[in-house]
Structure 1
Amino acid sequence: MILFITIFFSSCDKKTEYKEVEKDKGVFLSGKIIPDSHFLGDQKCKECHQDEFKKWKGSHHDKAMQIADSISVLADFNNKKFTSQGVTSRFFKKGKEFYVNTDGPDGKNHDYKIIYVFGLTPLQQYIVQFPDGHYQCLRTAWDSVKNKWFDLYPDFKVVHSEWLHWSRGGLNWNNMCSDCHSTNVRKNYDEETHSYNTKFAIINVNCEACHGSGKQHVTDVEKMGEKYVSDGSFQMTTETGPKELVDQCARCHMRREQFSEAFNFEGTMLDHYYPQLLEERLYQADGQILDEDYVYGSFTQSKMYQNDVTCTNCHDAHTLKLKFDGNKLCAQCHIPEKYDTPKHHFHEQNTESSKCINCHMPGRFYMGNDFRRDHSFRVPRPDLSVKYGTPNACAGCHKDKDDVWAAKNFTKLFGEVDSIHYSEKLAPGITMQPNGHVGLIELMNDTHQPEIVRASATKVLSNYNAQNFVEEYITLLNDDSALVRGASVDVLSTINSTDYTSYFLPLLEDPKRSIRVKAFYGLAGLSESEVPEVYKDSYSKVKKEFFLHLKTNADFVGARIKKGDYYIKKGNNEEAIKNYENALAIDEINNQIRINLATLYYNGKQYAKAEETFKEVIRQEPQFGPVYYSLALMYAELNRVDDAIIQLKKAVKIMPENIRVYYNLGLLYDKKQEYENAEKIIVSGLKKEATNEGLLYVLAYVYSKSEQKEKAKNIVYQLIDLYPNNQQYRSFLNQL
């Protein structure tokens, strides 16, 4: 299975010789980069570990990345043409070298030399070199099963100016692939020049990528001979605990954010990365895979993980293949007489339908033809599919049936569900059901639930207005789970208040780097002089970790935005603008950045720039309703009422479900004393949401000003019935 798209670089790195040092006291790690000379290569490992080497040789790890040559390249480059989404690519040779003619970053076709190849089956990708150290992965790949060229994203048109174009950030090897496809990678990105000098010790995922650099190990073996005793410095050994092994594999088998400059085997996973949580658009509402989530986020939801089943219980550590075929794999733990029988699965024995994985590990295709299974190992729940639109294995196989049929027949065969699964509380929250927050609060406080589920519930709860749950979040800052602490800090950091930032201070000494860095960001509203003396040393150390984190990820739009947001919290509008402009420079058609930048211009009284920036969004995306709304609010604050009304009228047409548009347009008509227009637009909004408090109040206010006091009284009576504890409405009635 191909995990990421990846590529190679020269390893002749002239870094200062690495010196072994004692770890800093407390939780702070040295952060030292391991020199390439400490990685001796698989041939050295083979001298003593021939069986392991033999298994590894030819595996997906071995073939994670290779130099393009007549042996490594599987695809047909005999002047073959492939057309998709209006772009024709031609694959050909010049002597012994491989080339593609395809559209480049300027929208025109050019010849590009293939430098590296990625992977084996079910697909192989090809990488070309661009200026300034950029290496890019082609969008067209080779199907090594069907032996044909194909588009990784056949239904998704991308133009040359977009970040997702193959020649830009979305398919850039340096930041999207290298860390997991080669050994001892240092990205070495320079933000000022937008260039890379990426280095690695070994081109592929060799023995030392997983077990750690071999120099000291070989030295000790040669010195001690048969008396050799392991010093415990190696990773992923027979002594590694089940959950620790999952964390070590997770480094590459998860979707995540990076927090260290380079992975150097110090500390734990959360000292280097923080995983993507279960959120909308990335996971299904019940936690099943949706986007490319890899494995960690799924597997850590499972009962298997909770009961210390680990990766190597099913997968051979070196070949990466399954240890057994068919249901024998599951029969290692699950009694065949009980589970591998029609009495359990209700399908004909020894068929595809009777395989455990097809009910408990349904999957999806990624990258066009790469089928990956969900590792959360769950019981199919067609009843949840009916409620929340989540997939289930039953309807997934019975294509001619729907979820209602599947739910009915599941109950007929297995009876009513007699236990509560976390997905029954997670799904209502993710899909924003009216009382969905109740289940989320229960999940995030239930220490018997998987950590990633608790952390995800913590993050998702913020959709119900995090300000309403500040006390709950503050409590979770002391949770035993680092994932939950991290999610709590993330949410509290988005609230525009410094009332509780003192609660972040102890987290500057959290044992996990990722949590410390998150806490520092949350403390941005606190000036350095306000930091208590007892935390000043830790604050200073984490400040370095925070800015190194930003520097490491500066080739991602998100990191540049985060830096801008940090300065917004600091009250430094000028630096915030600079970083948002930098973000736009590497993703020039990202209009969410542009809208935020326009707001920053406005806050800095750069009104002309703000207006032009909003208008640029409109030129690029004329059907994007929020931009008309934002521009209208700016016009209103500048007292350009007529201009504001024009923009809000456009916003109403594009996003008629947005109640705030009706509310603000009604206020503007009232300001112009156009009471009839005000009444008309507010009534239109009330047809969408009849009990909306803001709309009812504005309507009553408009009636009172236009000498329609009886109508005004009727509306106020409604408000009093709906909100009896609001004394403002009773005072309003008395005035009328």
Structure 2
Amino acid sequence: MKKFLFLNQKNTVILLITALLFFSCDKTKKENYQNVDNEKSVFLSGKIIPDSHFSGDEKCKECHQQEYKNWKGSHHDKAMQIADSASVLANFNNTKFTSQGVTSRFYKKGNDFYVNTEGPDGTSHDYKIVYAFGITPLQQYIVQFPDGHYQCLRTAWDSVKNKWFDLYPDFKVVHSEWLHWSRGGLNWNNMCADCHSTNVRKNYDESNHSYNTQYAIINVNCEACHGPGKEHVLKAEKMGNDYISDGSLQMTAATPAKALVDECARCHMRREQFSEHFNFEGTLLDHYYPQLLEERLYHADGQILDEVYVYASFLQSKMYQNDVTCTNCHNAHSLQLKFDGNKLCAQCHVPEKYDTPKHHFHPQNTASSKCINCHMTGRFYMGNDFRRDHSFRVPRPDLSVQYGTPNACSGCHKDKDDAWAWKSFQKLFGEVDSIHFSEKLAPGITNQPNAHQGLIELMNDTHQPEIVRASATKVLENYNAQNFVQEYIKLLNDKSALVRGASVDVLSRINNTDYTSYFLPLLEDPKRSIRVKAFFGLGTLSQSQIPEVYQESYQKVKKEFWNHINTNADFVGSRVKRGDFYLKKGNLEKAILSYESALEIDNVNNQVRINLATLYYNNKQYKDAERMYLKVIEQEPKFGPVYYSLALLYAELNRVEDAINQLNKAIELMPKNVRVYYNLGLLYDKKQDYKNAEKTFVKGLKIVPTNESLLYALAYIYSKSDQKEKAKNIVKRLIDLYPNNQQYRNFLNQL
């Protein structure tokens, strides 16, 4: 499967940081940017908890028999098991399964389980199954590779229908791709282990791309959630009936609702890791930062799209805002729902009002009358795993009509469309009687004109869920973040760490460093993830430029930053981030090395390849830059922006004919992109081919008749080719469109 790129077609070139640094030399901390929400910064120890401190579930069982009974056999208990006759559910009786041209044969040798399937070299090999992963609705199988790598097979066992199936049946994956089961996309060490076992240390060594991953207990046992039990057990055994819990354990009945959500979220969210390993120190944002609501991951209104798990969805909900927590619905140990059907929701929502056809307008005691089928729609992931959206929203067919988002009505009535659903909604319920954040977020995510004001309102509305505010902060970047710097600076002191983090991220990407000093107080932010983000934003400063009052914190966060980079160096994104940090430092050579190393672990990542081409160009490695672009074209011949980028390279090298050829190919693939017409016309002008230059500018203006650059270029061509009247007419249009531009009036006078 090819990796599709999502670039701004107006400019596919990285804006390298070359601006001179301007920052405040004030030696005192800014009073408005310290001690956020009265929390103090805590630089955590990062210590590893010895495996011996984890007592094991059998020890817990001695005192907590009912909890153990509930947990036994649960998804947590069966999260990972040694592959044997008791744990393996699939048919290994010399069965075959074929998908995407690859045939896998599953068989046994004695008591061991094997698969013969395509390996990383594109040929079939025999692999021993060492672990079984999960239990229902599917079970995956893990193979041990050299250098400590463990890989999850792409073919899994449907434990409901009792058959083999392809996790991604619609994706053709070549053996050399990162997504191939034998490579990074299905690597257990970095994609699975942290949440499927207890006290995991990934232990990745970038120097030889190897792992020495370790854990205390193979599955998600009691102490994965409650923390190491050694001290707790010793005190309980010593004091007997006089023992009173001292609060040293995690996730207890005394844990506040939102704190409990955060503790569950460690494994139930899509996130970026900021600590070397999870050791129960600090809070969620000291170890991870969640994925925000963005295009391709979530629908424009915040509903789930890609595999994003639960946390960011639940944070959107009114349930979360009103201190409903995970264990209000789920048994903490069995993970099962506490009640069947609408009884679950009736814990809070009066059945006489809501569990009635007067509310849901469907026959009672049918699937259509279930609360979850209207307010918790879902999607299938990994082939057969249906997961519900935990944002608990009212169906909004009107937003579906505008933005193509899902709604429960047309999702259930497959023979109807969104327009029908919206008409029916109005007939049954009238107009929507409340404003939902998605009405402001969706226009921004879908890049609607003038949606920025709604995003700014969301960013600053402290009554909105913080995940929504943080997401709006990031989405505003679609509308040229440089125009909203003051809005972002204000949010650096927001009470929400998610919002602070999103604001730092956006400011760090703007090619302007006038406001860098505002990051300095965030070196002492209460949350490690925010401190690390701030350090990255301060990358343009040398250590000597850091004010004395922040030097100690700077050194501590520097260590946290490099731990974050090195821990995640088995991901392309971390190697790219390291390269971007070196760019901030002005070290182009090290940036190039980092980007090259990213391609080493994902050789078909053309986003990285295009950015690397730009770095080569800036380092005057023109042949290498050309090689990168041509490789992208080889892999993605229908991706228009790469032809545009290659043309710009050729134009800079004065290879005009080559540049013209590439731009013509770009026009074929993205005929609506007026920048391509503009650059192509300029190249024809450079050749003094005024006829083709005129034709090209005119074609572009048919797409966007008021485009300022095209109008000016066309007027210029007419003036050079003795077509003065045509030139005058175009310039008059420019003056009408841009009356404050004196340059156009001067141009007209010259004509």
Q: TM-score range by the shorter chain?
A: over 0.9
TM-score (norm 2): 0.94
Report if the CA contact (8 A) 2:711-2:730 is conserved.
yes
Match for residue 92 of structure 1 among 95, 107, 121? 107
Report if the CA contact (8 A) 1:123-1:143 is conserved.
yes
Letter of the 2:128 counterpart? K
Per-residue deviation, 1:648: 1.2
Per-residue deviation, 1:733: 2.0
CA deviations on 1:245-296 (whole Å, 9 max, x unpaired) are: 0000000000000000000000000000000000000000000000001000
Residue 491 of structure 2: aligned partner: 476
Match for residue 343 of structure 1 among 358, 371, 394? 358
Residue 324 of structure 1: aligned partner: 339
> Which stretch of the first structure deviates more once superposed, 26-35 or 176-185?
26-35
List aligned pairs for 1:494-573, cutoff 5 A. Answer: 494-573=509-588
> Which stretch of the first structure deviates more once superposed, 214-223 or 62-71?
214-223
Per-residue deviation, 1:691: 1.1
TM-score (norm 1): 0.96
Q: Does 1:461 align with 2:476?
A: yes
Report if the CA contact (8 A) 2:41-2:525 is conserved.
no
Match for residue 262 of structure 2 among 235, 239, 247? 247
Per-residue deviation, 1:356: 0.4
Match for residue 138 of structure 1 among 145, 153, 158? 153
Q: Does 1:655 align with 2:679?
A: no
Letter of the 1:623 counterpart? K
- Ranked by relative contact order (alpha carbons within 8 Å, sequence separation 6 or more), the top structure is 2
Residue 416 of structure 2: aligned partner: 401
Residue 213 of structure 2: aligned partner: 198
Match for residue 485 of structure 1 among 477, 500, 515? 500
CA distance in 2, matches of 1:675, 1:148: 66
Letter of the 2:449 counterpart? P
Residue 356 of structure 1: aligned partner: 371
> Which stretch of the first structure deviates more once superposed, 300-309 or 726-735?
726-735
CA deviations on 1:605-643 (whole Å, 9 max, x unpaired) are: 111211222222222222221111111111111222222
Residue 700 of structure 1: aligned partner: 715
Letter of the 2:141 counterpart? Y
Residue 448 of structure 2: aligned partner: 433
CA distance in 1, matches of 2:646, 2:229: 60
Match for residue 433 of structure 2 among 400, 412, 418? 418
CA distance in 2, matches of 1:276, 1:501: 25
Q: Does 1:371 align with 2:410?
A: no
Match for residue 264 of structure 1 among 279, 290, 294? 279
Report if the CA contact (8 A) 2:272-2:290 is conserved.
yes
Report if the CA contact (8 A) 1:498-1:526 is conserved.
no
CA distance in 1, matches of 2:748, 2:612: 43
3-state DSSP class of the match of 1:434? coil
Residue 380 of structure 1: aligned partner: 395
Report if the CA contact (8 A) 1:478-1:485 is conserved.
yes
Q: Does 1:574 align with 2:589?
A: yes
Match for residue 587 of structure 1 among 602, 614, 625? 602
Match for residue 120 of structure 1 among 130, 135, 159? 135
Would you say how many aligned residue pairs link Structure 1 and Structure 2? 712
Match for residue 185 of structure 2 among 156, 170, 174? 170
CA distance in 2, matches of 1:627, 1:343: 57
Per-residue deviation, 1:165: 0.6
Report if the CA contact (8 A) 1:505-1:519 is conserved.
yes
CA deviations on 1:374-408 (whole Å, 9 max, x unpaired) are: 00000000111011000000001101111000100
3-state DSSP class of the match of 2:603? coil
Report if the CA contact (8 A) 1:573-1:600 is conserved.
yes
Per-residue deviation, 1:659: 1.6
Per-residue deviation, 1:734: 2.3
3-state DSSP class of the match of 1:524? helix
Per-residue deviation, 1:726: 2.2
Residue 208 of structure 1: aligned partner: 223
Q: CA 1:26–1:403 in structure 2 vs 1: closer, same or farther (change >3 Å)?
A: closer
CA deviations on 1:313-362 (whole Å, 9 max, x unpaired) are: 00000000000000000000000000000000000000000000000001
Residue 728 of structure 1: aligned partner: 743
Residue 407 of structure 2: aligned partner: 392
Report if the CA contact (8 A) 2:41-2:527 is conserved.
no
CA deviations on 1:389-448 (whole Å, 9 max, x unpaired) are: 000000011011110001000110011001110011111111111122121111111110
Report if the CA contact (8 A) 1:277-1:455 is conserved.
yes
Letter of the 2:288 counterpart? Y
Match for residue 251 of structure 2 among 236, 239, 246? 236
CA deviations on 1:191-226 (whole Å, 9 max, x unpaired) are: 010000000000000000000001111122223333
Gaps in structure 2 of 5+ consecutive residues: 1-39
Q: Does 1:711 align with 2:705?
A: no
Residue 671 of structure 1: aligned partner: 686
Per-residue deviation, 1:711: 1.4
Q: Equivalent pairs: percent with the same residue?
A: 82
CA distance in 2, matches of 1:191, 1:311: 38
Report if the CA contact (8 A) 1:594-1:614 is conserved.
yes
3-state DSSP class of the match of 2:96? strand
Per-residue deviation, 1:150: 0.6
Gaps in structure 1 of 5+ consecutive residues: 1-24
Report if the CA contact (8 A) 1:127-1:138 is conserved.
yes
CA distance in 2, matches of 1:314, 1:728: 67
List aligned pairs for 1:68-87, cutoff 5 A. Answer: 68-87=83-102
Residue 37 of structure 1: aligned partner: 52
CA distance in 2, matches of 1:609, 1:35: 48
CA deviations on 1:620-676 (whole Å, 9 max, x unpaired) are: 222221111111111111222222112111111111122211111111111111111
Match for residue 182 of structure 1 among 187, 197, 214? 197
Residue 121 of structure 2: aligned partner: 106
Report if the CA contact (8 A) 1:631-1:644 is conserved.
yes
3-state DSSP class of the match of 1:417? coil
3-state DSSP class of the match of 1:371? strand
CA distance in 2, matches of 1:453, 1:329: 27
Report if the CA contact (8 A) 1:101-1:112 is conserved.
yes
CA distance in 2, matches of 1:384, 1:625: 31
CA distance in 2, matches of 1:601, 1:27: 41
CA distance in 2, matches of 1:395, 1:369: 22
CA distance in 1, matches of 2:713, 2:586: 34
**Which 4+ stretches in 1 moved above 4 angstroms?**
none
3-state DSSP class of the match of 1:710? helix
Residue 290 of structure 2: aligned partner: 275
3-state DSSP class of the match of 1:237? coil
Per-residue deviation, 1:26: 4.1
Letter of the 1:292 counterpart? E
Match for residue 614 of structure 1 among 619, 629, 633? 629
Letter of the 2:254 counterpart? E
CA distance in 2, matches of 1:726, 1:69: 77
CA distance in 1, matches of 2:235, 2:572: 45
Letter of the 1:93 counterpart? K
CA distance in 1, matches of 2:633, 2:299: 32
**In angstroms, what is the RMSD of aligned CA positions?**
1.0
> Which stretch of the first structure deviates more once superposed, 67-76 or 645-654?
645-654
